[in-house]
Each structure stands twice: as structure tokens, then as C-alpha cells.
Amino acid sequence: MQAAAIAVEPAGGGVSPAVRVTLGYPVDDIAPQLGEFLGGVIGEACGTAAANVTVDWRVRAHAVQGTTLAPLPEVRNIIAIASGKGGVGKSTTAVNLALALARQGAHVGILDADIYGPSQPKMLGLSGQRPETKDGKSFEPLEAHGLQANSAGFLVDEQTPMIWRGPMVTQALTQLAFTTNWRDLDYLLVDLPPGTGDVQLTLTQQAPLAGVIIITTPQDIALLDARRGLRMFEKVGVRILGIVENMSTHVCTACGHEDAIFGSGGGAHLAEETGAPLLGQLPLAAQIQREADGGSPTVIADPDGPLAVRYGDIARTMAARLATAPRDRKAAFGKIVVE
């Protein structure tokens, strides 16, 4: 499948052609540099001066699991962020990837589906706020740092435990996902709870998922659970977009030295074993924790720093991989009614 469309306007007499490259993923942050690079390559190949290359992009809806589910009306692609176990930095990674996609120009939302332990309200600086409802039946998403967001954490006090059985949890997830008035999203990232339980099963049965990203750490015990989570999504037909190895190294706050205190090579080994790409590796850094706890995650707090660059590279690689997936064609056909 193509991830880009190229239109060339020919020019005679040795004049460089005008080229428009339309990618299937957002590149606002690097479009000028990319255009300049491609212009030089094309000019060299054609024996002319550098070509005039314009780079733009458009995110399309991609095929989802099963044959009956279709993307939500205002959401082109839903991407689950999952982990086999807790404590691997899944929520922090999810919010920074969402912010990185938004910085690259995409319209992005984040759904906090960790009903028992919602953390997105605090990380987005939205603690204590409540989503509005205009009709008593649906939610208006809250906004922070350019993201649309909804979470069970918006509906209860921060100190109140969610003492719910499975059916109540899955009902809450369904309401948050399907009764939120998301507005023209290229990507909706869903921050899942750890494990392979009710929430994951409900999501894969009812929500049209364009893909899933698996978050793990290099530790063997984390890899065991990550492998189970990955295999679960494979069994239900959800596209595996890749693996992110978090806490790959520890960054010393005093000298900046990186040390692989949790082991090394675990994410790469899991990727090789399962055939899923390793999207990138992230360090265990106090800066990430401090900025997330402060309501301004790293991609916002230090947008040009090395950590934000890593998040940006992972987000772009994920989006580019999704852009090569088959398109969703269901919306092109009208409903057929037999009377």
C-alpha cells in the first residue's frame, strides 16, 4: 500500500520540475527540511537544479479489525496504547506520543480508559475539571495542550476509588468512547489499563481499532506480560503497529550517564520474536516524571529537547507505518435498504 502520493509538473529546457508529495501522516514539523532534501535528490537525478518540492499530508481512515466495525464519524483512526503489566510507563508514553502527533500537525484526542487508575487528568493539567454536556446524553471533550481528552478521572474526585465490578467498568468505557463528541480527529489514542481483561476485550469487540502499540520495559517479567498482550491483540485481528521499550536506560540526574539497569535488548528481542517493529526506546529519566506530574508533559515542557525528539521519532514512525496499511473503504458506500 502507498504511504505517499507524488504529483510532478514537468518542465522543459533543463528547468527543474515542480513536485508535490502528499504523505499519509503528519509532517508539519519537518516539511520544509524534507522538501529541501527531496528537491536536491530529484534535481541531482534529473541533472537540473534542485526541484521545487512541496510536502503536505493527509491522514486517511485505515481498515480495522473484523468486518462489521467502521471508524467513528469524527475519528479517522483509533490507536490503543497497551501493556501487559502496570508500572511500565504506558500512560506517560501515551500522552507524550499524542502530544508529539499534535505537534506534527495532526488533530489528536486521548481517551483515558484506565477506569480504576486514571492518570491523564493530572498529566494534562486538568485535575478537578468536568466535561460539559449539552444534551444530557453526550460529553464535550476537555482540551489541553492542543489535545481533546476524556477520562473517568474527570467524573469523580481525584481521591475517590472506583469500586466497580467488570460490567460497570466496560459500560463506563463504552460511554466514554462512544458518547464523547470528538471533533475531526486524525488519531484517537486510547490509554488502556494493564493486562488482557474486560476493558481490552470490550474495546476490541466494539471499538474500531486501526492498530495497537505495546509498551514494555527491558525486564524479562515485563516482556512476558507484554508478549501475552501482543498475542491477545493478534488473536482478535488488531494490527500491531509496534513495540516501544520504555525505561531502556536510566539517566543519572547528576552526570547524565545512561545505564541499562533493567537489562538490555528486551524490546528488540520481543520485536524479532513476534515480527512487530521496535518503534523506539525511551530512558528512565526524572525529567519525564517531573514534567508529567506537573501537568506539562515532556513534549510540551521541553519541545526541542532530546527526550521530546525521541517521542517525536516514535510517533512519526508509528504514523508512517499506519499510513501503509489498507484504507477503510466502508464510508465510500452508502447504506443499502431493502424494502
Domain ranges of the chain: 4-57, 78-323
Rounded-to-10 torsion of CA 76, 82, 88, 91: 40
3-class state of residue 332 by DSSP: helix
Report whether 298 contacts 307 (CB < 8 A).
yes
Average confidence (pLDDT) over 253-265? 82
Hunting for cell 447504506 — which residue is that?
Answer: 335
8, β-bridge pairs: 19
**Rounded to 5°, angle at Cα 175 from 171 and 176:** 115
What's the whole-model pTM score?
0.91
Asked if residue 108 lies in contact with residue 101, where contact means CB atoms within 8 angstroms, the answer is yes
DSSP 3-state of 66: coil
Gap between the Cα atoms of 190 and 93, Å rounded: 12
Q: What are the cell numbers at 147?
A: 489535545
Q: Quickly count helices (H) and strands (E) in the chain.
A: 10, 13
pLDDT at 336: 58
Model confidence over 41-94: pLDDT tens digits? 888 887 777 888 999 999 999 999 988 887 788 999 999 999 988 889 999 999
Residue with grid cell 523506539, as numbered in its chain: 280
- Which residues have a Cβ under 8 Å from the Cβ of 265 and sit 6 or more positions away? 218
Which class would CATH give 78-323? alpha beta
pLDDT at residue 43 in the model? 81
pLDDT at 315: 98
Angle, helices 198-206 vs 220-235, to 10°: value is 30
Evaluate the CA torsion angle 330, 182, 234, 166 in order and state its sign. Answer: negative
Question: Quick one: 181 exposed, middle or buried, by C-beta within 10 A (0-12, 13-18, 19+)?
Answer: middle
Decide the pairing of beta strands 250-251 and 147-151: unpaired
User: How many angstroms separate the Cα of 316 from the Cα of each of 104, 172, 230, 236, 319?
Assistant: 8, 31, 21, 26, 5
- pLDDT category at 228 given cuts 50, 70, 90 is very high
Output the pLDDT for position 44.
82
